[in-house]
Chains A and B, each alone.
Chain A
Amino acid sequence: MLKRRLVGVITVKKGWAVQSFGFVRHLPLGRPEVIAQNLDRWGADEILVLCIDRTLADAGPDIDLVRRIGRMGLSTPVTYGGGLRSVDDGMAVIQAGAERVCIDAMLWREPMVVRALSARIGAQALIGALPVSRSGQTIAAYDYLSRTERPITTQTRALFAQQVISEALIIDWQHEGHARGFDTDLVRRWPLPGVPLIAFGGISEPEQLEELFCMEGVVAAGVGNFLAYREHAIQNLKERVRVPSVRPAEYECKP
């Protein structure tokens, strides 16, 4: 059985790691590369760096940031998202040191570019991020650029269903940053069975992780703000999640 992954999420705005609350309110945290180094030492299974202002500013991916993180020689796989516009942007992110690329606006803006990028770097290196909320019996995608909700389009669904993208990052954007906030109904109502899911947004407690890791399709859970409040936050979560498929907590021990 494959291990369930605990993903440390670093949200970046104007080059600074920030806490994010419901996609609207942000508090500064520090240097993204220092936080990445810390998550690596704590034993996160994956690090996801999301630059949330690059697409809106049409600034392209923050290659310098990916390089700075890459130079730290981390052993944890790093996924980068934010500002990607083209296949070349995706290639540049990989060449700068990220293992995987996370795309969001491109999913519904330019599905053909997504297919071309997948052909170049492989579907296993591509994650699709979808901020979602409940909408009646289904779920709606949130376009953070226009701040409007819309159904998940047929083209976007096809990208996941045809395995152009390996995993879907479903973000409970309304409860992002709020303790115990994640709405597990978003997983239950996810319309594409068989697509591996990374749940993120308002996941703070081991009980939430346990529930999510036992749900069909969930392969990973992302935690962001809540990793900044305590020492050894990753290890503390792992020690309290009573699911055997989680890689055990480890504490660095210097000779």
Chain B
Amino acid sequence: MQAVKFCQRCLYGDDHPLGLVIDEQGICSGCRVHDEKDRLEWQERWALLEKLVRPYRSSDGTTHDCIVPVSGAHDSYYIVHLVKQRLGLNPLLVSYNKYFNTELGVRNLANLRIRFDCDILVQNVNPDSVKRITRASLRQFGSIYWPCLAGTSTFPVQTAVRFRIPLVIWGAHQGLEQVGMFSHEHEVQMTRRYRKDHDLLGVEADELLSMFDTLTERDIWQYRYPDDHSLNSVGVTGIYLGNYVRWDPKAQHEEMIRSYDYGSASFSRTFDCYDHVDCFNYMDLHDILKLYKHGYSKVTDHACREIRHGRLTREQGLALVRHHEQRPAVYARQFCDWLGVTATSLEFLLDLHRNPDHWYQPAPGRWEFHGWSTRANSAVQTAQATPDCKFVQNSVLDTRPDPRYIVVGKGYPS
């Protein structure tokens, strides 16, 4: 078993899949960069943002000023709020159809477009290709989410090139927020390298093609990132609002609930009711794969974030992680129906990706978990009871008695 060093402040270990550096004081890079949130002068940083976007404003207001990638969840309302209401830009919203849509996600996206009165483009990739890629990525590197990650990171940039709208505005930078990959002051921008390295798990669309697989050019071409010449000729620049705004997803979502009726819902596998309510799989099957491969799951990300913001103690965070992380998938049947595999086949495929650093199989069909929450924090006393994190749940993922993916677009009816 690999020896893992843990941060003394949050719950992350130094084998974090994004990379994590723990310094001589035992504090991780993520916590160190998070400290900047209380040190930086955010009004000055907002002024930097205003200066940065100024050249991109349409002079006559007849064209879009920027591209904003959105979904029916995950900071989209707050990003559009900042871009449209505070910066006064006219964004073209773009959304990649993940096909794992919940009723609440479809509702949230429609409400977003109506409330903010924006144009929106939705990309629907051939669902047969998406299923073929999903089968390949699940088998090859244990991801059912590769097409979603590739689509959401590629479509906005393709649109920027196609419509010659150079500015793409994203929310927070995941690597900065989680593991402190950059200081806010580096003002890191979107890069193809980061996308491949982290969003796409190191695998570009063309690298999925193999003579030993059934995927063809026809399946993957829509996931290709524009080449450097195209990016340069349009001057595509992707910026992150999190470098200029004190990013706090909980507070932001609650503001969006109050101001724009953002819909939230509870999940079995985490205490956060705001992230990823548009998707049946992200906080479910995808999250279980994360636990299998990396020895921790999204609830640890949420707990670390809340610890850093001072709303949870480390002990309370660990109690929440232990409470949620072993919960079974709720929507596995829907995934099997969509992909056309049996539950047994899916279980077999998932088990292939259990990381022996975190899982031990004492007998066929039995698994013992030795992930972060079991060893991390052996020195940390778990809180007696799971705390109430005070997340507002104002809706449910789906009201139907037998929920199915709302596939829309080219995906209808299945």
Answer whether A and B are interacting partners.
yes
The closest CB in chain A to the CB of B5 belongs to A14
B50 at the interface (CB under 8 A from A): no
**Which of A80-88, A131-139, A216-224, A225-233 is the contact stretch?**
A225-233
Contact for B228 among A29, A35, A252, CB less than 8 A = A252
A31 at the interface (CB under 8 A from B): yes
B-facing residues in A186-216 (Cβ within 8 Å) = none
A34 at the interface (CB under 8 A from B): yes
Bound-complex Cα distance A253 to B198 (A): 24
**Which of A20-28, A96-104, A113-121 is the contact stretch?**
A20-28
Q: B196, A229: Cβ atoms under 8 Å?
A: no
Query: Known contacts being A14-B14, A28-B18, A35-B193, is A229 close to B187, with CB within 8 Å?
Result: yes
A5 at the interface (CB under 8 A from B): no
Among B182, B189, B238, max chain A CB count under 10 A is at B182
**Which of B19-27, B41-49, B290-298, B383-391 is the contact stretch?**
B19-27
Q: A231, B229: Cβ atoms under 8 Å?
A: no
Q: B227, A18: Cβ atoms under 8 Å?
A: no
Q: What number of A-B contacts does a CB cutoff of 8 Å give? A: 91
A-facing residues in B1-52 (Cβ within 8 Å) = 14, 16, 18-21, 23, 29, 33
Q: B20, A28: Cβ atoms under 8 Å?
A: yes
How many B residues have CB within 8 A of the partner chain? 37
Chain A residues, CB < 8 A from B183:
27
Query: Known contacts being A27-B33, A28-B29, A34-B202, is A252 close to B229, with CB within 8 Å?
Result: yes
Bound-complex Cα distance A224 to B23 (A): 20
Chain B residues, CB < 8 A from A180:
none
B231 at the interface (CB under 8 A from A): yes
A247 at the interface (CB under 8 A from B): no
Q: A29, B181: Cβ atoms under 8 Å?
A: yes
The closest CB in chain A to the CB of B21 belongs to A26
Q: A18, B228: Cβ atoms under 8 Å?
A: no
Closest beta carbon of chain A to B203's beta carbon, Å: 10
A153 at the interface (CB under 8 A from B): no
Q: B202, A251: Cβ atoms under 8 Å?
A: no
A13 at the interface (CB under 8 A from B): yes
A30 at the interface (CB under 8 A from B): yes
Query: Known contacts being A231-B231, A253-B229, is A28 close to B193, with CB within 8 Å?
Result: no
- In the assembled complex, 14 residue pairs joining A and B whose CB atoms fall closer than 8 Å, in A order, are A27-B29, A28-B179, A31-B197, A34-B193, A34-B197, A35-B197, A38-B192, A41-B228, A228-B188, A229-B188, A231-B191, A251-B232, A252-B227, A253-B229
Q: Which residues of B contact A (CB under 8 A)?
A: 14, 16, 18-21, 23, 29, 33, 175, 179-183, 186-194, 196-198, 202, 227-232, 236-238
